[in-house]
Structure 1
Amino acid sequence: MIAALDHVQLAAPPGSEPALRTYYTSVLGMREIPKPPALAARGGCWFQAGPVQLHLGIEQDFVPAKKAHPGIRVTSIEAYAARLASHGAQVVWDDNLPGHRRFSAQDPVGNRLEFLERLEAVTAA
């Protein structure tokens, strides 16, 4: 039986690790976590914030997905969007999910990331 989502794997092009490390740690506020040695030899990097893990794996013929994305729950979504925008990220708001505030942004290699907060969480704050 499924108990929880362990992680989401995104792809990235060879040599993009420095840009990914800067973005996922400095901009998104995640921390890098070590990859097991056998997997570290393949390149890429892993990040975590609370129980959320994003793994970035190297793909030789990388093309960012146009629609596929992780949906990441955040708190204080307006402040979080401002944080990303202050680092040069393009924040695209989308009001089409009832009961939520949400926006998307792209990481340095073009992966789409969606950030959302339930409206009752916003109004209760």
Structure 2
Amino acid sequence: MLTAVDHIQLAAPPGSEPRLRTYYVDALGMTEIPRPPALAARGGCWFQAGAVQLHLGVEVDFRPARKAHPGLRVRGITAYAARLEAHYAPVTWDDELPGHRRFFSTDPVGNRLEFLEPTD
């Protein structure tokens, strides 16, 4: 029986870890968490905020996820969007999901991310 999502894995090109750290730590406010030694040699980085974990794994033939994406709930979505914009991250608002305010952004390697907050 499924009980929760443990983490979301996104791909990234080799050598992109410094740009990913800037975005996921500085812009999104996540904390980088250590990877198990057996996995650390593969490259990439892992981030966490509360119970949310995003793992960025190196993929040599990398192509960004432009449609598939994690949907991340936030509190104070207007302020959160402003935070991303202050870090030069794109913010594209979308009003097509009833009962939510939401926007999309992309990380420095082009992966799509959705940020949403219920309005009810």
Q: Which residue is 2:97 aligned to? A: 97
Distance in 2, Cα, partners of 1:57 & 1:75: 27
Letter in 2 for 1:58: V
| 1:66 positional shift | 1.9
* Partner secondary structure for residue 80 of structure 1: helix
**Can you give the 5+ residue segments of structure 1 that lack an aligned partner in the other structure?**
121-125
Determine whether 1:53 maps to 2:58: no
Q: Which residue is 2:36 aligned to? A: 36
| 1:106 positional shift | 0.4
* Partner secondary structure for residue 79 of structure 2: helix
Distance in 2, Cα, partners of 1:90 & 1:49: 20
**Can you give the 5+ residue segments of structure 2 that lack an aligned partner in the other structure?**
none
| 1:65 positional shift | 1.8
| 1:42 positional shift | 0.3
Q: Which runs of 4+ in 1 moved over 2 A?
A: none
Give the structure-1-normalised TM-score: 0.95
What does 1:81-120 correspond to in 2, within 5 Å?
81-120=81-120
* Partner secondary structure for residue 75 of structure 2: coil
Number of residue pairs aligned between Structure 1 and Structure 2: 120
